[in-house]
A and B are shown apart, each in its own frame.
Chain A
Amino acid sequence: MKKIRKFASAHKLNATKVLLICVFAALVLIPLVRMLTNINGESLKSVLSQESFLSLISNSLVATALSTLTVLILAYVLAICVERTNIKGKEILNILLVLPMLIPSISHGMGLVVMFGNNGLITRILGFGGNIYGLQGIILGSVMYAFPVAYLMIADVLKYQDCSPYQAADILGIPKWRQFTSITLPYLRKPLISVTLAVFTMIITDYGVPLMVGGMYKTLPVVLYQEIIGQLNFEKGSVYGLILLIPAVIGFIFDVLNKDKGNSTFVSGKMLIKKNKLRDGAAYIFCGCICFFLMLPIIVFGILAFSKRYPSDISFTIKNISDALRLNAGTYMLNSVKIAILVAVIGVVLAFVTAYLTSRAKTKMSKALHLFAITSAAVPGVVLGLSYILTFKGSFIYGTLAILIMANIIHFISSPYLMMYNSLSKLNENLENVGKTIGVSRFRIIIDVIIPQCKLTLMEMFSYFFVNSMMTISAVSFLSTTKTKPVALMINQFEAQMQLEEAAVVSLAILLVNLLIKGIVALIKKISTKKKVSVFTEEAM
């Protein structure tokens, strides 16, 4: 009897896993295959034989490589400034640095145009500039857009670095530069590879920045975007989609292999930071400059949103807000919020169930499901969007909010999934076994014990899904209709019609909504960790 029951329960777990694998396959792999089958010899030939084809590839690679390198160097230096000096105001800095992550990439591009374009604010003040368009513009915008992500990742690694190897090296009299090459670099190698791949993929697949400031310097995602939006040429678009898929997939595979052999070191001592006023002073200056640079677009939007007529008359008005509302910004904002909430709720549930099955109900299917759950990270948003058009056009779901929600969930699920996977893996492995021996079902243990312990991660996941859904312009740009359009896509439209003030209003509105969600999550987090902190100090005493 028991054997049968046991068999049935293992069977149920496996069946759920197979079902989820089918869901991921249906929403990732099948659309991709559909896109690839859309490529025919003719479209392939017409793309590859273009004179501009090689320069397109080299443009994308050069712009991405230079941006990635700049981001890495700046982010590393800033992380050192924050984690290895005694400067004050680190919390404020960390809050400020998150702000640029809360607006769409296209806003960063537009910010550059407003500041450094032919009629730009800064161009006019300084009396020169105007040549923002091109490679330099893409690099600047991409750095603004990708910098916070790189910084947060590197700072996190530095924060948890163990100081004992350095103490040992000091005692042995090993010079500082040797310590850097033989302790710091090996320690940072894997995390840095991860950061590099994340930033590289983020930049090479983004069309927002290059569309705004690329000018004649065309990159792959921009051409793909124009091919679909402007020409409705799906065959050629699919070829570009395939080409764009290549670096993303390579990056993804590298990242999986890189993380596989994790170097988990246990923290045994916090870094001791010596007093050094000169160093701290330099750190203040560097942090200040970076912050100012990253804040520029937001500051400029603040000015622009409340200016009468940029650039001729920048006296205060709130007319732009009512103008934006008159142009349906309110309706589209409502679309965005609806989408973001539904993506967050459904996404969190899907990611939680999947992560639970792969981390705490291990069977042979678990590895396969894990792989499926993270695969979507390898598909650039524009490529996902294109493959969804080709797959779902004509079906009942096409042209509804549902397809936008679906695309966003799939596009963003891998990070929140991994957050939950890590949290669940850290919980005691015997919780369900305790339940089994005292007669409590797995389901009850999940509800009563597992979920309460993962509350903070669940909230992080919610906020990740929400914020990214508010900002995204990639997959949704191909899938939305005039009715279902999310508000982030208005930025592009306003900019094209030279309604920069309204575009600034929309960017700020997105920022505000995201800030609100982030703020709520941070507040709840603070309240619940405060309790824990007091516990620790009590114990320490």
Chain B
Amino acid sequence: METKQPKLIVKDLKKIYEDKCALNSVSFDVKEGEFLSILGPSGCGKTTILRILIGLLDATSGTIIKDGVDITNAPASSRGMGIVFQNYALFENMTVLGNVEYALKIRKETKAVARERALSMIERMGLSEHINKKPGELSGGQQQRVAIARTMILNPEIILFDEPMSALDVATRISLRKEIKDIQKEFGTTMIYITHDQEEAFAMSDRLMVMKEANIEQIDTPENIIDHPANEYVQSFVIDNLQAKINSLVKYLR
């Protein structure tokens, strides 16, 4: 693993809007099959990175290299990436099946093949009994599973998650967490996951990237971040917050 070149290399990525800097020359890389979380408060530039990576937004400068190929200017659909949005963005007028097989149909896959692949993906996501329901009839967790299935059906090498659980309740979050990790292992998919929840980031990630005001503060494994926080900010935003959460519970766990 160590000798392999990174799946994704991001170099000096910069995004400047008319009056403000959203991303200040960030560089990082992601290994094949790795789960990388991007953690930071709202407005720190997390979502900007994600949108540039997938091609929904143009960077002001910088390069993105995937498998040794420069994809900075490639169209979103040919980057081999998928994205799962915060509010699912499902096609409300279509059934679960319709949502999942839509991309295949448009890509001129034969009807039978599209159907078969969609059905097996839906089964994999545990949605078989809901196959003919519309998104409005599903719970939030189920909707998010449909969104994941819709993304997975195109076999992306990298999946980007934009705070996918922020609208869900705690129990659903915890079960969906496990499911996403399972998918990562099963398919060997590289995942980049945005969250502002420290606990979620620590529970899921191989590595963590802590951001603040358009800059990367630290990028490392959860263990190393706990042991060697890079600066005051990482100490207070990540470690102290986690500690506070633990302290508030620990008195009940005698």
Interface residues, chain A, with chain B CB atoms under 8 Å away = 1-3, 5-6, 428-431, 433-434, 436-440, 444, 448-449, 452-453, 532, 535, 538-539
Q: Which of B52-60, B188-196, B233-241 contacts A (4 or more CB under 8 A)?
A: B52-60
Contact B77 A428 (CB under 8 A): no
Asked if B20 is an interface residue, CB under 8 A from chain A, the answer is no
Of A434, A437, A535, which contacts B81 at CB under 8 A?
A437
Of B89, B102, B134, B151, which contacts A433 at CB under 8 A?
B89
Q: Which of B38-46, B68-76, B175-183, B218-226 contacts A (4 or more CB under 8 A)?
A: B68-76
List the 10 closest A-B pairs by CB distance, nearest first.
A439-B77, A452-B93, A430-B89, A2-B73, A438-B103, A428-B89, A436-B76, A430-B85, A449-B91, A437-B76
Asked if B116 is an interface residue, CB under 8 A from chain A, the answer is no
- State A438–B85 Cα separation when bound (angstroms): 13
Q: Which residues of A contact B106 (CB under 8 A)?
A: 438-440, 444
Contact B56 A428 (CB under 8 A): no
Contact A439 B103 (CB under 8 A): yes
- State A437–B55 Cα separation when bound (angstroms): 8
Closest-by-CB residue of B relative to A428 is B89
- State A453–B58 Cα separation when bound (angstroms): 30
Closest-by-CB residue of A relative to B91 is A449
Interchain nearest-CB distance for A445 vs B (Å): 9
Q: Contact string, B147-178, partner A, CB cutoff 8 A, digits 1/0? A: 00011001000000000000000000000000
Interchain nearest-CB distance for B70 vs A (Å): 11
Q: Which residues of B contact A433 (CB under 8 A)?
A: 56, 83, 85, 89
Residue from A429, A434, A539 whose CB has the most chain B CB atoms within 10 Å? A434
Of A436, A532, A539, which contacts B56 at CB under 8 A?
A436
Contact A437 B92 (CB under 8 A): no
Asked if B107 is an interface residue, CB under 8 A from chain A, the answer is yes
Q: Which residues of B contact A431 (CB under 8 A)?
A: 89, 91
Q: Which residues of B contact A448 (CB under 8 A)?
A: 91, 102
The answer to whether A437 and B136 touch (CB under 8 A), given A452-B93, A453-B92, is no
Contact A430 B87 (CB under 8 A): yes
- State A453–B76 Cα separation when bound (angstroms): 25
- State A428–B103 Cα separation when bound (angstroms): 18
Closest-by-CB residue of A relative to B92 is A453
Q: Which residues of B contact A5 (CB under 8 A)?
A: 75
Closest-by-CB residue of A relative to B90 is A428
The answer to whether A1 and B77 touch (CB under 8 A), given A428-B87, A439-B107, A535-B137, is no
**What are 6 A-B pairs at a CB distance below 8 A?**
A6-B58, A428-B85, A434-B89, A438-B77, A440-B102, A538-B137
Asked if B82 is an interface residue, CB under 8 A from chain A, the answer is yes
| New contact pairs (19) apart from A434-B85, A444-B106, CB-CB < 8 Å | A3-B58, A6-B58, A430-B87, A431-B89, A431-B91, A433-B56, A433-B83, A433-B85, A436-B56, A438-B103, A439-B103, A439-B106, A440-B77, A440-B106, A449-B91, A449-B93, A452-B93, A453-B92, A453-B93
Asked if B88 is an interface residue, CB under 8 A from chain A, the answer is yes
Closest-by-CB residue of A relative to B104 is A438
Q: Which residues of A contact B87 (CB under 8 A)?
A: 428, 430
- State A429–B89 Cα separation when bound (angstroms): 8
Contact A2 B137 (CB under 8 A): no
Of A428, A439, A539, which contacts B137 at CB under 8 A?
A539
- State A493–B191 Cα separation when bound (angstroms): 75
Residue from B74, B77, B94 whose CB has the most chain A CB atoms within 10 Å? B77
- State A538–B130 Cα separation when bound (angstroms): 13
Residue from A438, A452, A532, A535 whose CB has the most chain B CB atoms within 10 Å? A438
Interchain nearest-CB distance for B103 vs A (Å): 4
Contact B82 A2 (CB under 8 A): no
The answer to whether A532 and B77 touch (CB under 8 A), given A6-B58, A439-B107, A444-B106, is no
Q: Which residues of A contact B92 (CB under 8 A)?
A: 453
Of A428, A439, A449, A453, which contacts B88 at CB under 8 A?
A428
Contact B137 A437 (CB under 8 A): no
Within 8 A of A (CB), among B95-123: 102-103, 106-107
Interchain nearest-CB distance for A535 vs B (Å): 5
Q: Which residues of A contact B82 (CB under 8 A)?
A: 437-438
Q: Which residues of A contact B134 (CB under 8 A)?
A: 535
Q: Which residues of A contact B107 (CB under 8 A)?
A: 439
